[in-house]
Amino acid sequence: VRLVESGGGLVQAGGSLRLSCAVSVFTFEDYAIGWFREAPGKEREFVAAISRLTGVMTYYADSVKGRFTISRDNAKNTVNLQMNSLKFEDTAVYYCAARNNRATTAAREYEYWGQGTQVTVSS
């Protein structure tokens, strides 16, 4: 299982970015996908997750609820994270992760990880 993130970059506070996670696996719909982030000097933290199959269940950290939206496209083996109203404190490396099970907010439960994409929000 291989995951590749894209879409990171530099944006002003209040702006938007759309991250994508492309997953190379035959049975993509069987995998729950999570997004996590790691800021300098901080531990990796949960951002959002989406359930396997239809993705009917989504989960968000309180800090991003109402601003970020996670979605999946099983036809393209892709999960997107739409990030609006970005804040300086959203600056971090963002990682997507996959597990062949129910979605969870715990990073340790995810089996496969991408390399990360940098998001920098200028104040």
**How many CB atoms are located within 10 Å of the residue 21 CB?**
26
Tens of pLDDT, residues 1-58: 999 999 999 999 999 999 999 999 999 999 999 999 999 999 999 999 999 999 999 9
pLDDT at 16: 98
Q: Are strands 112-113 and 92-99 parallel, antiparallel or unpaired?
A: antiparallel
pLDDT above 90 (res 123): no
Q: What is the mean pLDDT of the chain?
A: 97
Q: Are strands 117-122 and 9-12 parallel, antiparallel or unpaired?
A: parallel
CB 40 within 8 A of CB 19: no
Lookup: tokens for 77:
């083996």
Tell me the C-alpha to C-alpha distance, in Å, between residue 123 and each of 7, 16, 30, 83, 112.
Answer: 20, 13, 39, 16, 33
CB 107 within 8 A of CB 95: no
